[in-house]
Chains A and B, each alone.
Chain A
């Protein structure tokens, strides 16, 4: 699964640590999600959704969708 977290974070000038604090996970977890090495759970995806004010499918998408 791929995502736009890095772009969304950069648009707000946030560091990985800032985003990690906002959704209550470690910076390593944010890094792994951004690199596509780890897929977040649905509750964590909803946290990102609320934080950025976007639908989950506007942040995360399957490789076959693009």
Chain B
């Protein structure tokens, strides 16, 4: 696929990722503010969040398919590293939480941050490796 096609798919992915983040923030805010009421609104926001998330996944798939073979290889390696890091660190984090090795409760959001940073640095290192 051409450079323009890749740019179009990258922009689509960015827009749908932004939409998913906004819908996640909205669903979280309403669920936090109205813990015992507005059942329909909360359910609706969760469904919207899931639908937008599904579209975002498809946009990500299209984005990956629009990349050339070297870029796909870099992303594949980054995904493999991220999966490994998340499973290994996530399990160690869970075990540490069970054993009360640290004061705070385990937070899923920390794993998301770890995944994001792992993927980002893997892409940067992979890109530099082939320069």
Contacts and interface: CB of A to CB of B under 8 A. Distances in A.
Contact of B69 (A21, A31, A37, A41): A41
B72 to A, nearest CB: 10
Given A24-B1, A24-B2, A29 B129 contact: no
Interface residues of A, number: 13
Given A40-B69, A44-B69, A26 B129 contact: no
Given A32-B70, A38-B70, A26 B131 contact: no
Nearest to B67: A26
A21 B2 CA distance: 8
Secondary structure type dominating chain B contacts: helix
Contacts of B104: none
Interface string B14-35: 0000000000000000000000
A25 interface: yes
A15 interface: no
A28 B69 contact: no
A38 B131 CA distance: 10
Contacts of B130: 28, 31-32, 37-38
Nearest to A26: B68
Contacts of A40: 69
A3 to B, nearest CB: 14
B127 A26 contact: no
Nearest to B70: A29
Interface string A1-41: 00000000000000000000100111011011000011011
Interface of A: 21, 24-26, 28-29, 31-32, 37-38, 40-41, 44
Interface of B: 1-3, 68-71, 73, 127, 129-131
5 contacts: A28-B71, A28-B131, A29-B68, A31-B131, A40-B69
